[in-house]
């Protein structure tokens, strides 16, 4: 994409790109203009950036510094106005320089809809689960005021976001039977958005563990030494230099490959089982052809196998820490 293409997109689809501001009006305009329902799933993540402080002439302020979070879990606004040389120097000495770009996207509930950047800020990656909860609550509230409903909050495996999810699900309290069923312990209220861990991160983490560690499943083993024989058809794709690259993972969980291993490769039962778990998980989230019942069946089959594998490991492999 060229610079001019990006500039045209910004001019057409962006109302406010001020750091730390939730772009509610821009999101609503985007949804209505494309005929999407006013329902979104929110997802967020941080990415490493080169630390630097710059002057933004459009706002007459500094960017690249990290503002403290307020009671809404958002950066304190208007903190880095470049009103004088003294103020600029003081801000640079007082506040940390950000090393991460933290971005929150709003994903419309429509097939092939592009996500919309709802919020972005410069971060030093220092925040707590309480800040996440405050930001989620405030974001959901302000979107709801504009008629936009949030159905879920999604993230990777950051322990602070997972802790926020556990608190929302009531898993930080004494475990009691859920109103859903005796088989559940989660007490999510209908008005509270669901908690979802990003499936791309989950399935890639499974791939990474599969390729760089020895794992035992019952009496069967998956060892790094026999990977080349089993995956020689795409040996370049088992390189772990890029741990979040999705294409190699999708190749690993193709049904034809799994069937080939199961039918033709000796002692591949453990490998086949692991790849089937990955395939079930991924399809349950992203396969548009699955019915709701098939989707639920797929994710719970994978969940059942992984939980039982975990319980077996806790009982038989004492050195593991779960």
pLDDT class for 246, splitting at 50, 70, 90?
A: confident
Q: List pLDDT tens digits, range 3-17.
A: 888 778 777 766 656
Contact 283, 297 (CB under 8 A): no
pLDDT value of position 319: 57
pTM for this model (two decimals): 0.80
| 319-320-321-322 Cα dihedral, nearest 10 degrees | -150
Order the strands of the 149-155 sheet from edge to edge: 116-123, 100-108, 39-48, 149-155, 194-197
Can you tell me the mean pLDDT for 258-263? 85
Six-digit token string for 177: 């039977």
What are the angstrom distances between the C-alpha of 210 and each of 67, 138, 216, 253, 281?
Answer: 40, 39, 11, 12, 15
Give the 3-state secondary structure of residue 162.
helix
Contact 98, 65 (CB under 8 A): yes
For the cut 50, the answer to whether the pLDDT of residue 223 exceeds it is no
Question: What are residue 287's phi and psi, to 5 degrees?
Answer: -80, 110
Can you tell me the mean pLDDT for 209-216? 70
Q: List pLDDT tens digits, range 16-73.
A: 567 888 999 999 999 999 999 999 999 999 999 999 999 988 888 998 999 999 999 9
- More confident: 169 or 65: 65
- Lowest-pLDDT range, 125-129, 176-180, 225-229, 246-250? 225-229
Contact 67, 79 (CB under 8 A): yes
């Amino acid at each position: 994409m060229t610079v001019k293409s990006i500039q045209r997109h910004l001019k057409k689809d962006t109302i406010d790109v001020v750091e730390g501001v939730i772009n509610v009006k821009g999101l609503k305009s985007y949804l209505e203009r494309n005929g999407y329902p006013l329902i979104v799933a929110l997802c967020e993540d941080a990415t490493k950036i080169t630390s630097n402080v710059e002057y933004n002439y459009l706002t007459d302020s500094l960017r690249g510094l990290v503002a403290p979070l307020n009671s809404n879990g958002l950066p304190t606004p208007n903190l880095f106005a470049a009103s004088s040389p003294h103020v600029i120097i003081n801000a640079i000495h007082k506040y940390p320089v950000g090393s991460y770009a933290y971005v929150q996207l709003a994903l419309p509930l429509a097939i092939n809809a592009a996500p919309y950047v709802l919020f972005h800020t410069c971060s030093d990656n220092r925040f707590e689960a309480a800040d996440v909860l405050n930001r989620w609550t405030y974001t959901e509230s302000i979107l709801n005021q504009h008629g936009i409903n949030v159905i879920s909050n999604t993230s990777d495996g950051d322990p602070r976001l997972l802790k926020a999810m556990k608190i929302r699900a009531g898993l930080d309290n004494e475990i009691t039977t859920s109103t859903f069923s005796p088989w559940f312990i989660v007490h999510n209220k209908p008005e509270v958005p669901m908690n979802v861990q990003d499936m791309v991160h989950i399935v890639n983490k499974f791939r990474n563990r599969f390729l760089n560690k020895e794992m035992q499943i019952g009496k069967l083993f998956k060892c790094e030494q026999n990977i080349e024989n089993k995956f020689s058809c795409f040996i370049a794709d088992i390189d772990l230099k890029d741990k979040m690259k999705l294409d190699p993972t999708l190749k690993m969980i193709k049904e034809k490959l799994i069937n080939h291993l199961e039918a033709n490769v000796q002692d591949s039962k453990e490998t086949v089982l692991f790849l089937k778990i990955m395939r079930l998980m991924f399809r349950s989230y992203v396969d548009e052809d699955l019915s709701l019942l098939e989707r639920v069946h797929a994710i719970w089959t994978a969940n059942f196998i992984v939980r039982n594998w975990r319980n077996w490991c806790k009982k038989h492999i004492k050195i593991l820490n779960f």
